[in-house]
Amino acid sequence: EAGVAQSPRYKIIEKRQSVAFWCNPISGHATLYWYQQILGQGPKLLIQFQNNGVVDDSQLPKDRFSAERLKGVDSTLKIQPAKLEDSAVYLCASSLVSQNTEAFFGQGTRLTVV
**Closer residue to another protein (CB): 7 or 50:** 50
> Which of 1, 40, 63, 70 forms a contact with another protein (CB under 8 A)?
40
CA torsion sign for 90, 40, 86, 101 is positive
CA 35 – CA 43 distance, rounded (Å): 6
Least Å distance between CB 50 and another protein?
6
Contacts for 26 with CB less than 8 Å, ≥ 6 apart: 1, 2, 3, 4, 94, 104
Interface mask toward another protein for 69-108; x: CB under 8 A? ----------------------x------xxx-xx-xxxx
Least Å distance between CB 111 and another protein?
14
> Which of 7, 29, 56, 61 forms a contact with another protein (CB under 8 A)?
56
Examine residue 43 and tell whether it contacts another protein (CB under 8 A): yes
CA 95 – CA 88 distance, rounded (Å): 23
